[in-house]
Amino acid sequence: MTDQPTTVTTVAEGVARIAWLPGEPVDVVRREVAQALTRHARVEALVDPADDDGQRTATWAGMRREGVMRGVTVDGSPVDRIVYARLATDVPTDQPEGFRALLNSFLPRKRAIGQMLIRDQDARVLLCQLTYKRDWDLPGGVVEVGESPQVAVAREVEEELGLRLPAGPLLLTDWLPPWSGWDDALCLVFDGGAHDASLTDRVVKQVREIRSAAFCTLEEADELCADFTARRVRAAVANLDGGPAYTESGRG
């Protein structure tokens, strides 16, 4: 990280930045962090994403991973750096809550998407034409941090369509691989039940996201949806009586 011995530098009011030599013992860095926190509210380190040892040292010195700063200027060139930090108010890592928070900061996190399979009496599926892409999709959206996927999908349906429908049993878990700038995600499809076709008359569109909503046959879904979405719709319908199932991009 630096060609100087371990250093602690004040970079803003109440904020110190620590840097250390490759191979520096974790105990030394941990001690320097603790000492710096007696004079600062925050101690941070900027670690090269390619520096696995540096990342381990930062973690086991008690600093939580906060994210990646892109395009930081180092020696005149823009580079990326992982930000690690510890606050004076953080729970000590020798206590269970503090240790769990440390692990939680760097363990992988998976985006979750909740969708609802809503049908009419003719077994057609409610699809939405979205404002931000050409393909149609099932109603739903991204699950917020700390939110139940089942609660999330009912919330999204109410926000986007003005329909208050309880989310029933889970029909399908569909893993979506990384695609076009998106990280991978899990899509959870819940049963929204069967309703009269007049349900669409009650739709109040969220105009920023929804152009229209309509009940469609599976054949129409094949035409209107992206191929992976059409496969997901068919897999969810096929599993209405079979309990939860798992697919990857709609494929079993």
Same domain, 160 and 224: yes
- Number of domains present in the structure of the chain: 2
Same domain, 144 and 173: yes
Q: 3-state SS of 9-63?
A: EEEECCEEEEECCCCCCHHHHHHHHHHHCCCCCEEEEEECCCCHHHHHHHHHCCC
Same domain, 88 and 102: yes
Across the range 120-131, mean pLDDT stands at 97
Q: The pTM is what?
A: 0.86
Across the range 182-197, mean pLDDT stands at 96
Quick check: is 17 in a domain?
A: yes
Residue 80: band (very low, low, confident or very high) from pLDDT cuts 50, 70, 90 = very high
> Can you tell me the distance from the alpha carbon of 160 to that of 191, in angstroms, rounded to the nearest whole number?
17
Q: Residue 1's pLDDT is what?
A: 46
Q: Alpha-carbon Rg of the chain, whole angstroms? A: 24
- What range defines the domain where residue 47 resides? 7-106
Residue 2: band (very low, low, confident or very high) from pLDDT cuts 50, 70, 90 = very low
Looking at the predicted structure, is the pLDDT value of residue 161 above 60? yes
Residue after which a domain boundary falls, among 89, 106, 123: 106
Same domain, 121 and 231: yes
Q: How is residue 101 written in tokens? A: 């928070």
Contacts of 44 (CB under 8 A, 6+ apart): 11, 15, 16, 17, 18, 63, 83, 84, 85, 86
In the chain, pLDDT over 90 holds for what percent of residues? 92
Nearest to 24 by CA among 64, 53, 45: 53
Nearest to 159 by CA among 140, 185, 142: 140
Whole-number Cα distances in Å, 97 to 92, 94, 100, 104? 8, 9, 5, 10
Looking at the predicted structure, is the pLDDT value of residue 82 above 90? yes
Tell me: the pLDDT tens digits for 20-79?
A: 999 999 999 999 999 999 999 999 999 999 999 999 999 999 999 999 999 999 889 999
Looking at the predicted structure, is the pLDDT value of residue 179 above 90? no
Q: What is the distance, to the nearest Å, from the Cα of residue 54 to the centroid of all Cα atoms in its chain?
A: 25
Q: Residue 3's pLDDT is what?
A: 54
**∠ CA 187-192-198, rounded to 5°:** 130
Length in residues, the chain: 252
CATH of the domain at 63: 3.40.630.30
Quick check: is 2 in a domain?
A: no
Q: Residue 70's pLDDT is what?
A: 96
Q: Residue 74's pLDDT is what?
A: 86
Across the range 124-129, mean pLDDT stands at 98
Quick check: is 1 in a domain?
A: no
Quick check: is 23 in a domain?
A: yes
**∠ CA 218-219-224, rounded to 5°:** 90
